[in-house]
Chain A
């Protein structure tokens, strides 16, 4: 039935109803009392059914993004927190799908780590280390020793089984002590093991800014509530024979009518200005955003959320604004962001326009009509002269000594003269001594070539709480190294692992440097959010080696927060690309989970060094210059 017919039925029923209220005798003449009661009950049931349906029809309210802070990234060692989470009272008996309880899995993981740590720090072979763990002589901490030496089910207080209890289980406490003892063993910062870590924030999913079906007009749920209330109170009024109660439905109908009459439209324009669009890293930039009503009627409620770039954290003010605007009027809001390295693009502002009673709202995104859309920070030429990244990568082209002999200045070998050899290379002394002609071979200088590769796999997206993710630190380090090598005349290429972010072939010159800057400063090659796909190690190595000539050395920039990063470095090195690893340290030292992450990373650094792959452990707090300064022979 169309709206008009429904309204016509309503009007007819209402008029006849009011007529019967005025002249009750008409009803008795027209319809028997029993039929009236049956009709009343039937319509009442329909009303209640419609009320329930109306309540269930509307979904959740719209939540806006929170660009005030950077996206939440995985913290190094989060897997340890997950392991601890798996150890519960239920886990004392329950087996999981692998036939292994959370307790057994936690002990197996820590035992593997402990054997490795004891082997590298105390020189124990695996059997000896396992024996020390089993008898508890590896540490002086009794709780840490008991984790490996005692059983899986230490006694638990009966109070721990109460439904609301959140006990600190002895097995979990011992695990924390074990991690603290291992951290002490490697000389790392030791967090307090008696206090559990707080709940870890959930890493960001692929959503940062709404890009879906916008603009979108949606109900806030008010109409549904009003409808349900009106129908329910009408049914109650009829049931109790109270026309006055039925009339209260008019209040709900008035609200619903107001919402129906005034449908929201997003007739707004947005302008944005920056105190500077080329700040230095760490500078504070004031953003002023203005919203204007460009329509011909008053907008009773506008909520604006400016599109703060994901890499910029708001340090003062708010990018949110709410107001009511008459036609042609405007209002402004200001907030301050802290600039970090990179070229940050502002997202379109999210605008929510509501109706006067809050029943419906339109959600849309509005691009800034005027003003800068980007904040370009850092990625300049480094001022500190530093060492090259590898002994064989020389500061002057042509001084790297290649594996083959030929023309040059450094003696290599003497061989039998062949026709056509230059007379200048004939060894006349040898001729005088032996009577034979011999030609001198010199070590042949070669021009070294370097590829700087940034790890942008999902596993590389780790960060300290509220911090910059490791790949973005990696982009800064990669650009610094590239600039330095280019300044010294070394041809450099730049890419990412995986190669989704594009590949800048090996080259030299200022134009080449500019293209590398374009690649690394923006967020296309090294995005602020982790990519969805996680290709396998063989795939990423094959894709990279297909782009690299045999004599190109590789500087691999990775936080080394998963075992695949080690595998990638070793495979590239095994392929003859003479790998150097620069590893930005994005682990956290203040928590047990962070300590576990640092231990795992320390193990990976140690593994690479044992494989004769130079690793530079870069504390990102040292700044950009720290990268090249620490990469030494």
Chain B
């Protein structure tokens, strides 16, 4: 099966670029994570240029890792969740841009790009707000068993959702 060779849609490219810049802006006070974020942005840009989904995943994963590194370094839960949203949005927008260029080519795509961006943003913000509320509701000390059980919960939910 052959592919079309349309240009990448501008709106999704713009969302990706703005999201990446937001992540970089949030990390501007942490040189180490910022360097990792710049590396992730470069890989993401390379993935867009070569239209490789794998490179997009690696680039966005690196960008997200930069956020997590900053979080481990002592950032607040709210900051961590807020910075994670643009990192994930950059990935989904870049994937969408590549898929549209591959399948739709030169046809008008702005409408579906807007719908996709708003839907994804809504889901991410909902997830982020829920997690933030949970973190504010439950306060206390750190227990190794508590973390292990939270991890069990994440594994169970992801397995259920993957089925």
Q: Do A and B come from one complex?
A: yes
Chain A contact residues, CB within 8 Å of chain B: 3, 6-7, 9-11, 13-14, 16-24, 27-28, 30-31, 33, 35-37, 39-40, 43-44, 46-47, 50, 54-55, 61-66, 68, 207, 220-225, 227, 229-231, 233-238, 240-258, 260, 300-303, 305, 318, 320-324, 333, 352, 356-358
Q: How many A-B residue pairs have CB under 8 A?
A: 296
User: Could you tell me the distance in whole angstroms from the C-beta of A392 to the nearest C-beta in chain B?
Assistant: 49
Q: Which of A43, A247, A254, A318 contacts B148 (CB 8 A)?
A: A43
Q: How far, in angstroms, from A230 to B156 measured CA to CA in the complex? A: 11
Report whether over half of chain B's contact residues are helix, strand or loop; otherwise say mixed. Answer: helix
What CA separation (Å) do A24 and B144 show in the bound complex?
A: 9
Give chain B's interface residue range (CB within 8 Å of chain A): 35 or more
**CA A235 to CA B120, docked complex, whole Å:** 25
- Output the least CB separation between B67 and chain A (Å): 8
Q: Residues of B at under 8 Å CB distance from A?
A: 1-4, 53, 57, 61, 64, 67-68, 71-72, 75-77, 80-81, 84-85, 88, 91-92, 95-96, 99-100, 102-109, 111-112, 115-116, 119-120, 123-124, 126-128, 130-132, 134-135, 138-163
Shortest beta-carbon contacts, A-B, top 6: A254-B127, A10-B156, A17-B149, A14-B153, A356-B119, A20-B146
CB nearest neighbor in A for B72: A240
| Assembled-state Cα–Cα distance A222/B96 (Å) | 10
Task: Determine the chain B residues whose CB is within 8 A of the CB of A20 once the complex forms.
Answer: 143, 145-146, 149
**B150 in contact with A357 (CB, 8 Å):** no
Contact (Cβ within 8 A) B115 A300? yes
Contact between chains at A244 and B80 (CB < 8 Å): yes
In the complex, the answer to whether A238 meets B161 with C-beta atoms within 8 Å is no
- Are A238 and B147 in contact, CB atoms less than 8 angstroms apart? yes
Partner of A321, one of B107, B158, B161: B107
In angstroms, how far is the closest chain A Cβ from the Cβ of B41?
A: 17
CB of B92 to closest CB in A, whole Å = 6
A230/B147 in contact, CB under 8 A: no
Q: Chain B nearest CB: distance from A544 CB in Å?
A: 36
Q: Find chain A residues with CB under 8 A from B72 CB.
A: 236, 240, 242, 245
Taken together as a complex, chains A and B put the C-alpha atoms of A242 and B147 apart, in Å, by 8
Name the A residues within 8 Å of B144 (CB-CB): 27, 33, 36-37, 40, 241
Q: Give the interface SS of chain A, mostly helix, strand, loop or mixed.
A: helix
B65 → chain A closest CB, angstroms: 9
Q: Given contacts A61-B102, A62-B103, A300-B115, are A13 and B149 in contact (CB under 8 A)?
A: yes
The residue on B at minimum CB distance from A225 is B57
Taking A20-B143, A224-B162 as given, write out 15 further A-B residue pairs in contact, using a Cβ cutoff of 8 Å, ordered by the A residue number: A10-B156, A13-B150, A17-B153, A24-B146, A27-B143, A31-B145, A36-B144, A62-B103, A64-B4, A229-B64, A243-B77, A254-B127, A257-B123, A260-B161, A356-B119
- Bound complex: CA A55 to CA B2 (Å): 25
Bound CA–CA A170/B150 (angstroms):
68
Contacts of A31 in B (CB 8 A): 145
A92–B154 Cα distance when bound, in Å, is 60
Give Cα A446 to B22, complex, Å. 90
Residues of B with C-beta under 8 A to A17 = 145-150, 152-153
**In the complex, what residues of A have CB within 8 A of residue B116's CB?**
300-301, 356-358
Partner among B57, B124, B139, B156 whose Cβ is within 8 Å of the Cβ of A254:
B124
* A105 shortest CB reach to chain B, Å: 30
Check A66–B3 contact: CB distance below 8 A.
Answer: yes
Q: How far is the CB of A11 from chain B (nearest CB, A)?
A: 7
Tell me the complex Cα distance, A192–B82, Å.
62
Smallest beta-carbon distance A514→chain B, Å = 38
